[in-house]
Structure 1
Amino acid sequence: MAWQSIPVPRLEGVSQEQFTQQLYPQRKPLVLEGIDLGACTSKWTVDYLSQVGGEKAVKVHVAAVAQMDFISKNFLYRTLPFDKLVQRAAEEKHEEFFISEVMDNFLIQVTGKKRVVLFSPRDAQYLYLSGTKSEVLNIDSPDLAKYPLFSKARRYECSLKAGDVLFIPALWFHNIISEEFGVGVNVFWKHLPSECYDKTDTYGNKDPTAASRAAQILDRALKTLSELPEEYRDFYARRMVLHIQDKAYSKNFE
């Protein structure tokens, strides 16, 4: 099946003021071109990074396949010398399955090339989620017998080359495929007031505190329904779903 993708807009020469005041409030992915990242875009080669990093020990995920699955955990943690890690990464194609985060993110492509596919948080219902992660690993050739709703999710796609900066708004799901060895740097920041976040969450991997409380309340409500016979549980659970759809979704959600 050939997938149709919506190209992520690319803009060159965007000033900080223009991004902050005009583009950032739109809450949509955007590739920024022509930003001066300095000498790193040409200097950070395999040899240079191996020399600078030396034999410093680094803990990494190691998997037998390119698509690592953080739900079934088809990988191991290993400690490798930094220079060996860089050399190994240069020889392997890597793909990150798609995930969402609660912080905004700049993905800065310093060297190399990546293909990035993104999905709107409004299409979460089609992504077969387990927490913030999707069960669908192969997004270019998914098992539609197992994941039939996935075909309804709208794909946004872009290619990143050295010097490109991709803005990934919070909650947007993203799948990253390395097309050649390169170095990418992520910069995360909080879009909401600081009190909305879990104070122990450094990298934006946990739900906002209000969302966590709501999930706990829902779990308690479902546990209460378990006191009823199956026919009643089913009926009132469906009413709860309809109530959430009616009350919680914004009017312009669709």
Structure 2
Amino acid sequence: FERLISPGREPVVLEGLDLGPAPAKWTPDYLRNLPGAADMKVSVHVSREPSGRLDFVRKNFAFRVISFQELITRLTNQAAEAASSGSSSGGSGAPAASGAAVPAAAPAAGEQQLDSRGGSSPQEGGGAGSSGGTSGSGVLPDLVPRGAQFGEGREVLYLRSIGENPRREAANLSASFPLLAADLRLPPLFPPSALHSSVLRLGSPGLVLWTHYDVMDNLLIQVTGTKRVLLWPPACHDALHVTGSSSPITRPQPDPDLTAFPRFAACPAPLLADLAPGDVLFLPSLWFHNVTTTGGHMSASVNVFWRHLPQEFYHKKDLYANRDLVQAEEADKAADAALAQLSQLPEHYRAFYGARLLGRLGRELGLSA
């Protein structure tokens, strides 16, 4: 891994790793009946967006605190409703790929399928959106109302586990879910001392998470259910209209409105990774990605982040592995100061000195064409 995969700085799907009993053991019944599940409280994202997409920029979701047992019950009910209605949650309406083991939609035209060696090949087919999740409420009350803020569709739920002290500690699977941690063997691909966090992620059928980047290398371990991951390289930062570490764009062309997001026209087609139980996606830092729960079932995965750079590059209070590096934040402040100074100049001076500064940055950082 350290010799062939990590230095390439490209996503790779790793197959056949020994993950312990978790992929076979984490059934809905097992999760729902974990000791203490009825009393353990978790904070979940809830939306009614018909497409199933959570939008971090627009905030079309609310946080609700429910028991872990209730969360699993709701997710299980949603999967049952999807099966009874014939919905292929997580798909785009496109037919499943011929011979596919799970009913995942075919890749969209121009997308590239990521194979287990990290290579890719062009694919044809339908889009990569979501048909939306189901409320799964049964006798359980709705968690958010229908309306303009959250949407008019069925409820979709998403758990991203947090630290025991969420203001001070990063997520730790062993601390929050010790029985689940005992079931899962983390791939030994990084020094244990470099571990930053281990995050449990549970999602509804058809859930689509927003596009974002992380500043640490990480592994997305698919334990149960299936996921589709779209991936754009770091060079797409400007084209993806990023705010903070997140983008409002979740699908490839021609879906995004180029009137609202004109720079996206310059973005290349994303890579695509379909994850089955037992698959592990290596996600290098700064790669943009979004994730769709496919196949009409709930998804359970564990996301492991580690510090691949010396610790002084990272903020001590970065609990989510998405705060820009210390030096990058300082550079942003310097850029703000430079903009404030240059904006005071007449136009032709502003153009001259702005171009000179850009040229200098490009040459000295090795970014010039």
| TM-score w.r.t. length of structure 1 | 0.84
| 3-state DSSP of counterpart to 2:328 | helix
Seen in structure 2, the aligned counterparts of structure 1 residues 242 and 125 have a Cα distance that, compared at 3 Å, is: farther
Q: Distance in 2 between matches of 1:49 and 1:64?
A: 25
Q: Is the 8 A contact 1:188 1:203 kept in 2?
A: no
1:178 aligns with 2:293: yes
Q: How many angstroms does 1:158 deviate by? A: 1.0
4, 10, 19: which one aligns with 1:37: 19
Aligned residue for 1:183, secondary structure, equals: strand
1:49 maps onto 2:166 in alignment: no
Work out which of the residue numbers 262, 280, 294 in structure 2 matches 1:148. 262
Give distance in 1, aligned partners of 2:290 and 2:207. Answer: 11
Q: 1:171 offset after TM fit, Å?
A: 0.5
Q: How does 1:89-108 map to 2 (within 5 A)?
A: 89-90=75-76, 91=78, 92=133, 93-108=206-221
Aligned partners of 1:171 and 1:96: how far apart in 2? 17
Match of 1:209 in 2: 326
Query: Is the CA contact (8 Å cut-off) linking 2:214 and 2:322 kept in structure 1?
Result: yes
- What corresponds to 2:228 in structure 1? 115
**Structure 1, 199-208 or 102-111: larger mean CA deviation:** 199-208
Whether the 8 Å CA contact 2:38–2:67 is kept in 1: the answer is yes
Residue 89 of structure 1 and its aligned partner are, at CA, apart by 3.2
CA distance in 2, matches of 1:238, 1:67: 39
TM-score, normalization: structure 2? 0.59
Q: Distance in 2 between matches of 1:74 and 1:235?
A: 43
Q: 101-110 or 228-237: which moved more?
A: 228-237
Amino acid aligned to 2:27:
T
Alpha-carbon distance in 1 for matches of 2:366, 2:260 = 27
CA distance in 2 between partners of 1:231 and 1:77 (Å): 50
- Number of equivalenced pairs: 234
Q: 1:200 to 1:142 in 2, by over 3 A?
A: same
Residues in 2 aligned to 1:235 and 1:205: alpha-carbon distance in whole angstroms: 35
Task: Give the aligned partner of residue 53 of structure 2.
Answer: 67
Aligned to 1:219: 336
Deviates more, 1:19-28 or 1:100-109: 19-28
| Whole-angstrom distance in 2 between the partners of 1:173 and 1:33 | 22
Matched, 1:88 2:74: yes
Unaligned runs of 5+ in 2: 79-132, 134-205
Q: Contact conserved, 1:196 with 1:209, CA < 8 A, in 2?
A: yes
Instruction: Using the aligned pairs only, state the percent identity.
Output: 41
For residue 21 of structure 2, what is the amino acid of its counterpart?
A
Higher helix proportion: 1
Question: In the alignment, is the contact (CA less than 8 A) between 1:29 and 1:167 conserved in 2?
Answer: yes
SS of 1:130 mapped into structure 2 = coil
Cα deviation per residue 1:116-166 (whole Å; 9 max; x = unaligned)? Answer: 010110222211111211121344621123223324323111100000000
